[in-house]
Amino acid sequence: RGWFVGTPPPMDNHGLPALTMQDAGNGFRPIMMGTHGSTTMWPSGLALAATWDEALVESVGKAMGREFRMKGANVMLGPSVNVHRVASNGRNFEYMSGEDPYLGARVVKPFVRGVQSEGVIATAKHYAFNEQETNRGTGGPQGASSSDVDARTAWELYYPPFAAAVEAGIGAFMCSYNRVNGTHACENPELLNRDLKGIMGFKGFVMSDWGATHSTQGVAAGLDQDMPGSDAFFSEQELAGSFGHETDEAVLRVLSSMYRLRIDGRAECKPPACVDNIKKVTKTAETQELARKAATRSIALLHNDGVLPINPHKVKTLAVIGMASDFGPSREFMGVMPDYYAGGGSGHVSAKQVVTAYRGILERAKVAGINVVQTSNQKLEEAMRVAEAADAVVIVGATSATEGMDRKTLSLDWNVDDLIPHVAKLRPTIVLMQTPGAVLMPWRNKVNAIANMFLGGEETGSAWASVLFGDESPSGKLPIMMPETENDVNRPNPTISAYTEGLFTSYRSNQFKAAFPFGHGLSYTNFSYGYPQAYTEGCMGAACVSLAVINSGKRAGVETAQAYVHFAPDAKEPELVLRGFQKTRLLQPGESEQVVFTFTPRDLSIYSPAANGWVKQSGAEVRVGASSADIRQVVALP
């Protein structure tokens, strides 16, 4: 009672408050008895990535930071920014980069700015190469599994979101449990001192993940804070010997972050006298509305033959089927168990109640004058009976994931994959998915519409209703590739994870087939792309590409135009790499918006280990489209 997940004590004689640290998978994690439901259960980091909306992400970060401050916390143990490598990673729902470093870098910056604008230190984690939970801290010939990564792969694919956090002025980093090239991440001098503090120029402090410190030697490698500190590796006695200079630097880095965000002399409360703060209800009508907006704009419409939005003139009775359709939140005491709204583990935010898909659809259907019949019974006979009583069917399928283990399967729960084809034979069928990452859809060619939401938080049902009934046209885009089969993904390795595929993961690999490609997401309208112009004169970067995006359909909508760079063959890059995107305003039918992609020298460079840095390339072209597989225009750069 009155404590936080991490509480380095105050130094009252120096006017320094305690660092009050709390977990942050999708909001302030309430762990004190009686506080569940007192904070907003926000959409997951992966859901935020699916919005491709920097302004919205910053608004969520700011609101989340405000809740932390009101609860008495001055350090948020987030955001989680790793680029996905293993599709079954149990923490992919937390990782807001999805499968792409450029997308990650673009959304990480505004999130960090939003959080820290509230005077709360944000923490980039898990640094680095923590792309699987399998044996993340155990197993292997020397203990934790080792991520063995070459320099080019590190700098081009996995470092950019972390570097973006540094550029945004983030106050802290958290090093991970795994080994990197054989050495524990939290005592790896190449990882911490050379790459992070040296090349990236990070000025804040590095804390260990809880229990990830292995010796006092970590301070010499660049670790500044041992958490939770109970192992005595960073005790005064241990540090006083041979680590005087390193200890001074570690102290300076912690103080620098505290002073820069004006945490010095300001304490919302002093643990353990923080009970009243932690009990505060920080969830408001405003945070719930913002959570609904973010969840709605994260929805990616993957397939639609015209059945959506639901037409009340054609659909008088709507069936809602599936165990997940009205499945409530987990309510166990510690608040770590996953559900279909937030993933499990230290990143779980518990809620007393959520808007389930069924409840959200039911309320909106009443307004439209549509009758709703529902069953959570997964038995085929019951599902068929309910489907036959309706004009159209919504099947809600879901699965979740948790810290500490990777998913055993990419299938949806409750054997809903077997149910869907049978129901689809009877009535027009819409499948809604609530997922923590990639899933398989063996039935995708047998249904009328498919939409996905990545663990969207407490307003999940309200968001579904907004899109299903056309109150808002879907605008989310996949931040990952949805695989065609279980063979179209990377798998975890229990001992040594050799990143031998290099840059060729997700859409960058020509070995993997997609059911739905990276960047994909339909609207209720259509968009066409005008002829592109490439230029350097008057461009604020190394090169610019400009073109018009036109709403050529019959409904208002928002498009996210994506720019992929294709390098010359001798660069040995993937066929396409994302290097730009721009979300349009809401375009009415016939309206257009001029989109300008400004490419920096880094955007047009590759990392050369021989040159020990970035080398700008010539002969590149830009391919612009609605997804990585839907290229509409191509232009060579001058």
* Tens-place pLDDT, residues 232-288: 999 998 998 778 899 999 999 999 999 999 998 788 899 999 999 999 999 999 999
Domain identity same for 309 and 433: yes
Domain contains 522: no
Q: What average pLDDT score do residues 98-118 get?
A: 98
Query: Per the residue annotation, which of 100, 195, 209, 413 is the catalytic one?
Result: 209
Domain identity same for 170 and 110: yes
Asked if residue 141 has pLDDT above 50, the reply is: no
Domain contains 539: yes
Domain identity same for 451 and 485: yes
**How would you label 567-578 residue by residue, b for 16+ Cβ within 10 Å and e otherwise?**
beeebebbebbb
Q: What average pLDDT score do residues 163-181 get?
A: 97
* Tens-place pLDDT, residues 559-588: 999 999 999 999 999 999 999 999 999 999
Q: Which spans in 300-440 are helix H?
A: 357-368, 380-388, 416-424
Domain contains 7: no
Identify the domain boundary among 492, 516, 540.
Answer: 516
CB 327 within 8 A of CB 321: no
Confidence of residue 34 (pLDDT cuts 50, 70, 90): confident
Identify the domain boundary among 516, 541, 576.
Answer: 516
pLDDT at 336: 86
Please name the residue that has the structure tokens 């960047």: 519
What Rg do the C-alpha atoms of the chain give, in angstroms? 24
DSSP per residue, 393-405: EEEEEE---BTTS
pLDDT at 327: 95
pLDDT at 333: 61
216 secondary structure, DSSP code: T
Element (H, E) at 583: strand 577-583
Identify the domain containing residue 394 by its residue range.
285-516
Domain contains 13: no
Share of the chain above pLDDT 70, in %: 99
Domain contains 89: yes
C-alpha 136/C-alpha 143 separation (Å) is 9
Report the candidate in 71, 69, 78 with the shortest Cα–Cα distance to residue 3. Answer: 71
C-alpha 204/C-alpha 310 separation (Å) is 51
Peptide linkage before 324 cis (omega within 30 of 0): no
Domain identity same for 309 and 325: yes
C-alpha 491/C-alpha 489 separation (Å) is 6
Domain identity same for 232 and 174: yes
Domain identity same for 317 and 343: yes
Instruction: Please provide the distance, in angstroms rounded to a whole number, between the alpha carbons at the two ends of the chain.
Output: 63
Asked if residue 140 has pLDDT above 60, the reply is: no
209: annotated active-site residue: yes
38 secondary structure, DSSP code: S
Asked if residue 166 has pLDDT above 80, the reply is: yes
CB 332 within 8 A of CB 407: no
Q: How many helices (H) and strands (E) does the chain have?
A: 15, 27
Domain identity same for 306 and 389: yes
Domain identity same for 214 and 319: no
Domain identity same for 304 and 272: no
pLDDT at 143: 66
Asked if residue 335 has pLDDT above 80, the reply is: no
Q: How far is CA 376 from the centre of its chain?
A: 29
Lowest mean pLDDT among 261-270, 527-536, 620-629: 261-270
Please name the residue that has the structure tokens 């911490």: 192
Give the domain CATH number at 50.
3.20.20.300
Q: What average pLDDT score do residues 405-411 get?
A: 96
* Tens-place pLDDT, residues 454-513: 999 999 999 999 999 999 999 999 999 999 999 999 988 888 899 999 999 999 999 999
Domain identity same for 504 and 539: no
Report the candidate in 157, 152, 246, 163 with the shortest Cα–Cα distance to residue 202. Answer: 163
Domain contains 3: no
Domain identity same for 317 and 264: no
- At 25, list the tokens: 């998978």
From the number of C-beta atoms within 10 Å of its C-beta (0-12, 13-18, 19+), residue 215 rates as middle
Give the domain CATH number at 382.
3.40.50.1700
Asked if residue 314 has pLDDT above 70, the reply is: yes
Give the domain CATH number at 571.
2.60.40.10
**Distant-in-sequence, close-in-space partners of 621: CB < 8 Å, separation ≥ 6:** 565, 566, 634, 635, 636, 637
Average pLDDT, the chain: 95
Q: Total domain count for the chain?
A: 3
C-alpha 423/C-alpha 445 separation (Å) is 13
Domain contains 10: no
From the number of C-beta atoms within 10 Å of its C-beta (0-12, 13-18, 19+), residue 322 rates as buried
Domain identity same for 440 and 573: no
**How would you label 604-619 residue by residue, b for 16+ Cβ within 10 Å and e otherwise?**
bbbbeeeeeeeeebee
Pairing of strands 560-566, 621-627: antiparallel
Domain contains 12: no
Identify the domain boundary among 279, 307, 335.
Answer: 279
Share of the chain above pLDDT 90, in %: 91
Q: How far is CA 332 from the centre of its chain?
A: 25
